[in-house]
Amino acid sequence: MTQVVLTEIHGKVGLIRINRPEALNALNNDVVDGIGAAIDAFEADENIGCIVLTGSEKAFAAGADIGFMKDFDYMHAYQTDFITRNWERIKTARKPVIAAVAGFALGGGCEMAMMCDMIFAADTAKFGQPEVRIGILPGAGGTQRLPRAIGKAKAMDMCLTARMMDAAEAEQAGLVARVIPAGQLLEETLKAAQTIAGFSLPVVMMIKESVNRAFESSLNEGLLFERRAFHAAFALEDQKEGMAAFAEKRKATFTNR
């Protein structure tokens, strides 16, 4: 049987690849469970400092698998806790997760990319929330994360008209961090991930937690959270090493302590 989720290790980076080319990487339970298991493994591996989630050249993921869910009734969706049960593992990852998106990122695919900490897009990427076309609404965060990323006007436009947004517009709107020529997407994303993985992991995790707090709290609460984390950083050996290395004009060697 084809493995619908593949993993590789590149130095200190764990790569997760969605692999259902016949269905444009449509997301079913096997795929989502596979991504969750891969994240579990990379989170537990102390040699890994950053995770990259990607698809194929043609599709990051064209959405939740429509065939899989077309006969669901309300009670089934509710009782099996559809989506929440396994999709949210990306959100709870403590190490940074970068989505490397080429081709279609639609519906649940766009939502999954937005669950990651940032999106690097190939110039071929197309983002959309076309659920309205098939009689449902975005249900894995699209109506909430999209307006936070690109504002109400464009989020409404995408969710209500089902139009796709190309990579250039997505970058201009703030949905993606970088647009990269398609042929270099993985290489460039892995390079950025290696940079992150070369820093102190506890500091990287504190930064991720603090930035995420900006979306969950008032400015004052967020600033307080940041300040506490900042003070805590002075308890790390890596802070001593980082500052000593700067003073001694050498490269820091972090030990994640």
Beta carbon nearer to ligand DAK, 49 or 63: 63
Does position 26 interact with ligand DAK (CB under 6 A)? The reply is yes
- The two beta strands, 50-54 and 5-10, are unpaired
* Neighbouring residues of 76: CB distance < 8 A, sequence distance ≥ 6: 82
139 as an active site residue: the answer is no
Residue from the set 16, 24, 122, 175 that interacts with ligand DAK by CB under 6 A: 24
Q: Which stretch binds ligand DAK (CB under 6 A): 62-70, 184-192, 193-201, 244-252?
A: 62-70
DSSP code string of 177-236: SEEE-GGGHHHHHHHHHHHHHTS-HHHHHHHHHHHHHTTTS-HHHHHHHHHHHHHHHTT-
- Measure the CA dihedral 7/168/183/90, to 10°: 0
Beta carbon nearer to ligand DAK, 99 or 236: 99
131 as an active site residue: the answer is yes
> Which residue stretches of 80-200 are H helix?
84-87, 89-92, 108-115, 142-150, 152-161, 167-173, 185-197
Which parts of 167-226 interact with ligand DAK (CB under 6 A)?
none
Does position 238 interact with ligand DAK (CB under 6 A)? The reply is no
Beta carbon nearer to ligand DAK, 24 or 185: 24
Does position 76 interact with ligand DAK (CB under 6 A)? The reply is no
Which parts of 95-154 interact with ligand DAK (CB under 6 A)?
104, 106-108, 130-131, 133-134, 136, 139-140
Q: Which of 59, 62, 64, 100 is catalytic?
A: 64
Please give the biggest Cα pair distance in the chain.
65
111 as an active site residue: the answer is yes
Does position 55 interact with ligand DAK (CB under 6 A)? The reply is no
64 as an active site residue: the answer is yes
Instruction: Quickly tell me which residue has 């042929």 as its tokens.
Output: 183
Residue from the set 18, 39, 48, 62 that interacts with ligand DAK by CB under 6 A: 62
Beta sheet of 104-106, edge-to-edge order: 59-61, 104-106, 126-128, 165-166
Instruction: List residues near ligand DAK by CB under 6 A.
Output: 23-24, 26, 62-67, 77, 82-83, 104, 106-108, 130-131, 133-134, 136, 139-140
Catalytic residues: 64, 108, 111, 131
